[in-house]
Amino acid sequence: MREHQHNQQEDKVIKGVEPLREENACCSSGQCAATHASEHHHSSEACSVDKHAPELVSEEVLPPPAGSQRFSWLIGGMDCPSCARKIENAVSAIPGVDSAKVLFATEKLVVDAQTDISQIVLQEVKKVGFTLSSTAKTAEKPAPESWAKRYGLLILLVILMLISWGVSTIDPVAGNAAFLATTLVGLFPIVRQSIQLIRTGTPFAIETLMSVAAIGAIFIGATAEAAMVLLLFMVGELLESYAASRARSGISALMELVPEEALLLRDGQRIKVSVQELRPGDIIEVAPGARLPTDAELVTEFASFDESALTGESIPVEHQSGDKVSAGCLVVDNVSQMRVTSQPGSNAIDRILKLIEEADERRAPIERFLDKFSRYYTPAIMLFSLLTVLIPPLLFSQPWETWIYRGLTLLLIGCPCALVISTPAAITSGLAAATRNGALIKGGAALEQLGTIRNIAFDKTGTLTEGKPTVTDIMTADDVSQTELLSWSAAVESGSHHPLAIAVVARAQQESIALIDADERRAIPGVGVQGSIDGKIVLLSSPVKTDPAMLSDTWSQAIHKLESEGKTVVVVLREERVAGLLALRDTLRKEAKEALTLLRGMGIKGVMLTGDNPRAAAAIASELNIDYRASLLPEDKVAAITELAKIEPIAMVGDGINDAPAMKAANIGIAMGGGTDVALETADAALSYNSLHGLVKMIQISRDTHLNIRQNITIALGLKAVFLVTSLLGLTGLWLAVLADSGATALVTANALRLLRKR
């Protein structure tokens, strides 16, 4: 039985419209996957791997409840995960809404509702300070926010602050009134938004804390500091907005890779059409310097493509006619005709974006913990600030003004912005960095898990090896030449799609041997394949299926030696007499040794799990310097993974249907980019191209993200701890408290952005 089997299944994608609207008459489609196992006459050491471009299939998201419609919009003005919660709370409170989910990474709002509530959603989201626009590429995009609208209030506040400061140097009383007026100008929009957030279910937002602190400062006469608090808050918000847009820049760039129009060839005419009109089988033409609008198969004889946007590899890849190329790849040299292979909305870029959206559902444990922690943390800080205001004056006769001031300072110190954004900023940057390097990780949980891996189990064929065997040795009887042996073998194997048959024919063509067709070709189940050449029967058989009486000691020793080197041996018989032997071997991936060496340098061990015979497995494992387990069925691989996982965290890397159960059993499953749909769907992470170097990058980025999160939490909590003490002692005031909070937010975001530079 061959080690890998392939299946075809339909991609399942939720299509976006403005607003995305789907009647849920039948919202769950069965997974249609037909698995066909085909046996060949050769031994199990080779497998069939289709050569195609990277394909990634995401897991199916939950459909809307029965009777619901689904709507989706792009969100404008969202800076951090706390903004996402504000929107979710506001929309969830609308009558008739079944669920509301904000996908922070792709800035999308998805709402399930019983009726069309689009206009109400638009109004409610606008009230809490955000905008919504169409998700459809063809829809008219809203004009970018004007410079005056974005920076107008901040500039006005700066001007008023300077005027107030100037007035205060001349007349302190008038200056105090000027600062009061400045504070009220800056406070009005924040208080208004705070009230709206309270009404929509977000009572402990940063706007609420700022409003309470500024109003309290006015009552105790600290008008200058109240105005400074608001000014620094606005500056901090702008910094957060800039940092968030930078963190999402990689995802935004990915969304822009696919052009909106294509040049369709129809009846000899070139017609410019929308990408949404393309269907599988259509022929399109792509000029040099243009990107593919969809997944397609090359019709032109050959062309080179820059795949760096998807794989991170800067060297163009040359493809031959029949090769599949992913959407978003850039044509380098020739005008290329391509045959469309994907449905609208289900090309490689769409599937990558789908995985990124689903990543929001698979947040890292530490991120989930901090999210829950912050929900209790903010009310607790408000209570602590209130006690700070009340206890010293009531119990120790301390002055009210002093402790009200310190309580307000603590209120601002306790703002959780930096802590809340510390983890998601790092994870978003880590996922984006991995995507840039050709590694797709399905969420923060998988990203976190990757960093703990200390052992990796590898499937052999198609993972450590190319999955494309080649003829390595040719041994002939005394009266048979190599040319004759290859000619007979190729004649019998011609037309077969089995990888060993393809390898034999390819070697004959390489030797410039004219191919002939054997007559009466047929497969003999459990034995081999035979045909008639010049009236004489030629049989290609596995050694174990060959009559031992036909194998002399010399032939037996040769077979044993070749098999001990990890090679597959085919016995060629002519008229029931051994004419020679062909030895074939699946070639190692050129980067396999280096990748495994790099992994060992990172403290990660490797083990090979394969269905091959022990001698073949030992030869490959010895060359790669890793442990191995051989002659494994799929259920044996699962048992091996379960056993190894008890010792230390383990990942499983594979590409075939028979690898999927083991990948699921491992702490984390990783699929090779050229693998089957089932393997890709089962995996927690996937390489978008067939290179083990991507595995090394993936793990390194995970570890860097772990370190970055720890640094961010230390910065966020460390600064708060320092200023908490100094504020209680009266050493720092309101404006320094806001500066500390905004500074911490800017620092953790800037630190997270460093991950985007990982290459």
Annotated catalytic residues are 459
Sheet holding 336-340, edge to edge: 269-274, 261-266, 283-286, 336-340, 296-298, 324-325
Residue 359 CA to residue 708 CA, distance in Å, equals 19
How far apart, in whole angstroms, are the C-alpha atoms of residue 755 and residue 759? 9
Distance CA 383, CA 379 (A): 6
- Residue 253: both structure tokens together: 């760039």
Q: Is the dihedral of CA 203, 207, 209, 214 positive or negative?
A: negative
Helix (H) or strand (E) holding 669: strand 668-671
Cα atoms found within 13 Å of the Cα of residue 395, Cβ hemisphere only: 6
Residues forming beta bridges with residue 281, ordered by sequence position: none
Q: What is the largest CA-CA distance in the chain?
A: 118
The total of other beta-carbon atoms located within 10 Å of residue 33's CB is 14
Q: Which residue in 19, 244, 12 sits closest to 109, CA to CA?
A: 19
Q: In the 8-state DSSP scheme, what is residue 291?
A: B
Query: Both tokens of residue 201?
Result: 């279910």
B/e letters for 343-380, b = 16+ CB within 10 Å, e = fewer, are: bbbbbbbbbbbbbbbbbbebbbebbeebbeebeebbee
**Is-contact 76 130, C-beta < 8 A?**
yes
Residue 34 tokens read as 């037909």
From the CB of residue 285, how many other CB atoms can be counted at a distance below 10 Å? 17
Give the single-character DSSP code of 351.
H
Contacts of 645 (CB under 8 A, 6+ apart): 665, 666, 667
Phi, psi of 475, deg, nearest 5: -120, 135
Q: Is 238 exposed, middle or buried (0-12, 13-18, 19+ CB in 10 A)?
A: middle
CA distance linking residue 268 with residue 252, whole number of Å: 36
Strands (E), 36-146: 69-76, 97-103, 108-113, 131-133
Report how far residue 210's alpha carbon sits from residue 197's, in angstroms, rounded to the nearest whole number. Answer: 13
User: What dihedral angle (degrees, nearest 10) is formed by the CA atoms of 484, 543, 506, 588?
Assistant: -140
Beginning with the edge strand found earlier in the chain, give each strand of the sheet holding 302-306 in spatial order.
Answer: 317-320, 302-306, 330-331
What the block records as the tokens of 74 is 């792009």
State whether residue 202 is helix, strand or coil. Answer: coil
Name 303's bridge partners: 319
- For residue 467, the one-letter residue type is G
Which of 458, 481, 707 shows the shortest CA–CA distance to 595?
458
SS3 457: strand
Bridge-partner residues for 284, per DSSP? 264, 338
Per-residue tokens: 297: 């198969």
Residue 214: name the closest of 357, 50, 408 by CA. 408
**What is the DSSP-derived secondary structure letter of residue 227?**
H
* Residue from 85, 64, 79, 58 nearest 19 by CA: 64
The contacts of residue 5 (CB under 8 Å, 6+ apart) are: 35, 36, 37, 38, 656, 657, 658, 676
Long-range Cβ pairs for the range 516-524 (8 Å, 24+): 516/487, 516/491, 517/491, 518/488, 518/491, 518/492, 518/494, 521/492, 521/495, 523/40, 523/41, 524/41
